[in-house]
Chains A and B, each alone.
Chain A
Amino acid sequence: MLTKRIIACLDVSHGRVVKGVNFVDLKDAGDPAELAYRHAASGSDEVVLLDITATHEQRGILLDAVHRAARELFVPFTVGGGVRSLENAASLFDAGADKITINSAAVTNPELITEIAERFGSQAVVIAIDAKSRSSSPTDYEVYVTGGRKPTGRDALAWAKEVESRGAGEIMLTSMDRDGTQIGFDCPITAAMAQSVSIPVIASGGAGNAGHFVEVFTEGHADAALAASIFHYGIANVGELKQTLLAANIPVRWPC
């Protein structure tokens, strides 16, 4: 039976893993390579590294971090932040990424999804969708880009279907309403998206405790769930989380 995946996310700035609330007051949380290895060793099914301050000048630092993190990582490894072209993506794959995630660039240039999928395979293309509720309807969400600063007018569910048809292999859905709150994942929009596309939907934003993961896999129908902050500073560990999920009859890779 296919298991539900628990994905550890590392936010990286200037080559270091950082943690903060809503991207302000960033605190140093360690070296990306060391933390990636530690997450994999403790039972994370996948590791995601996002460069949250990706700029042209940062590119070299990011590639170095990816290269070092990938060296001893034998679980899937996804990298994102500032991917704007096939060349950007190729350099991340060369550095050791298995998948890349694209957000803003996919909205401004949707052909990029197809271009990367045709060259590296759909399994290597994860589209990140930052979505924010825009009405009282539980599934009426708008897509935002540029780190959640710019509304696009696009409907999140329609965009999800479009990225699937253009060759995306997975969708990473972040609920902006829940991100950083630790009050739980946004189950209604996650369920609506998971049921409207055939590719896996990774839920992100709002994880605060193990019960939230149970909810997002049952009510939210998520294929995978991602969390950053709760896995830092030992707030929660993946092993305990997986045992809670098993007790709730959710199949997970444990022991691993």
Chain B
Amino acid sequence: MITIIDYRAGNLASVQKALAHIGEQSVVTDDPHSVRKAERIVLPGVGHFAAMQRLDDLGLKSAIRDAIARGVPFLGICLGLQWLFEGSTEAPNVEGLGVFPGLCERFPSSVKSPHVGWNRLRRRHFCYLLQRVNEGAFVYYTHSYRAPLVDGAVGISTYGDTFAGAVERANVFGVQFHPEKSGDAGLQILRNFCAYNPMCQPQAVPSSEGVA
């Protein structure tokens, strides 16, 4: 069972639908107790980095921290990846979860912002999350801020400069793109996340076909 965190912004239907498609049941909640007991957590996010404050107000931030510390597999999507960093210049007074060091920043003024559309995702390191995903697969992005190339940035894309498209550290994963909207490559990444077992690595991941 996947616990999808609802912090009262954005649209969770697409993520739920994609999980259902790969045979995973999910439940949407804004209850910190449910998050503390979750087996696997997805945190989708849209909008402004300052919405992290709302997670905090709902008691969800500390519940997420506790779950992560307990080893629960966690996937942050879009803004959900950015929240894994220390903060963002979008909301300088709001602290992120700090799983990864550094600040998210706006794209350089040399390119149009937001970055909207399909871009290639390249592997930077060997990693768990991107297995069975073709090198340079296209994924769908929509964002104005991007995360720095920390050690845990396992997948990268280039727009203006190179930024973290996917991050990974033990049980914590993040993707800046939308796997639920990235065709077969995105569905494979969701399958990988759902198959992650912290007690037993590496392991086989189900795959239905070659993935573009």
Assess the B13–A96 pair: CB atoms within 8 A: yes
Given A74-B21, A96-B13: A123 and B212 interface contact (C-beta under 8 Å): no
Given A74-B21, A120-B10, A169-B116: A3 and B138 interface contact (C-beta under 8 Å): yes
B residues 86-122 with Cβ under 8 Å of A? 112-120
Contacts of B195 in A (CB 8 A): none
Given A96-B14, A124-B11, A124-B46: A45 and B21 interface contact (C-beta under 8 Å): no
Name the segment of B30-38, B146-154, B176-184 touching the other chain: B176-184
CB distance from A196 to the nearest CB of B (A): 12
Q: Does B9 contact A (CB under 8 A)?
A: yes
Residue of B21, B116, B186 touching A170 (CB-CB under 8 A): B116
Given A1-B119, A98-B14: A119 and B9 interface contact (C-beta under 8 Å): yes
A224 to B112, CA, bound (A): 14
Contacts of B184 in A (CB 8 A): 74
A72 to B46, CA, bound (A): 22
A residues 56-93 with Cβ under 8 Å of B? 70-72, 74-76, 93
Assess the A76–B181 pair: CB atoms within 8 A: yes
CB distance from A102 to the nearest CB of B (A): 16
A94 to B10, CA, bound (A): 10
Q: Does A24 contact B (CB under 8 A)?
A: no
Contacts of A71 in B (CB 8 A): 17
The size class of the interface chain B forms with chain A is 35 or more
Contacts of B183 in A (CB 8 A): 40, 74-75, 256
Contacts of B141 in A (CB 8 A): 2
Main DSSP-derived SS at the A contact region: loop
Q: Does B140 contact A (CB under 8 A)?
A: yes
Residue of B13, B113, B114, B186 touching A74 (CB-CB under 8 A): B186
CB distance from B144 to the nearest CB of A (A): 9
Assess the B138–A2 pair: CB atoms within 8 A: no
CB distance from A39 to the nearest CB of B (A): 13
A70 to B10, CA, bound (A): 17
Q: Does B198 contact A (CB under 8 A)?
A: no
Given A70-B17, A74-B187: A2 and B11 interface contact (C-beta under 8 Å): no
Q: Does A198 contact B (CB under 8 A)?
A: yes
Closest-by-CB residue of A relative to B111 is A2
Residue of B17, B113, B120, B142 touching A123 (CB-CB under 8 A): B142
Main DSSP-derived SS at the B contact region: mixed
CB distance from A244 to the nearest CB of B (A): 18
What are the interface flags for B62-83 relative to A under an 8 Å C-beta threshold, 1 for contact and 0 otherwise?
Answer: 0000000000000000000000
Given A75-B183, A93-B13: A199 and B117 interface contact (C-beta under 8 Å): no
Q: Does B158 contact A (CB under 8 A)?
A: yes
Closest-by-CB residue of A relative to B16 is A96
Assess the B115–A2 pair: CB atoms within 8 A: yes
Closest-by-CB residue of A relative to B116 is A200
A75 to B11, CA, bound (A): 15
What are the interface flags for B154-190 relative to A under an 8 Å C-beta threshold, 1 for contact and 0 otherwise?
Answer: 0000110000000000000000001011111011000
Q: A123-B142, A124-B10, A256-B118 are in contact. List 11 more A-B contacts (CB 8 A).
A: A45-B118, A74-B186, A75-B182, A75-B183, A96-B17, A121-B46, A122-B47, A169-B142, A199-B116, A200-B114, A255-B212
**Interface positions of A (Cβ within 8 A of B):** 1-5, 40, 45, 70-72, 74-76, 93-96, 98, 118-124, 169-170, 198-200, 223-224, 253, 255-256
19 pairs of residues in contact across A and B, judged by CB atoms under 8 Å = A1-B119, A5-B118, A45-B117, A70-B14, A74-B21, A74-B182, A75-B140, A76-B178, A93-B11, A118-B47, A119-B9, A122-B114, A123-B46, A169-B116, A200-B112, A223-B112, A223-B117, A253-B138, A256-B138
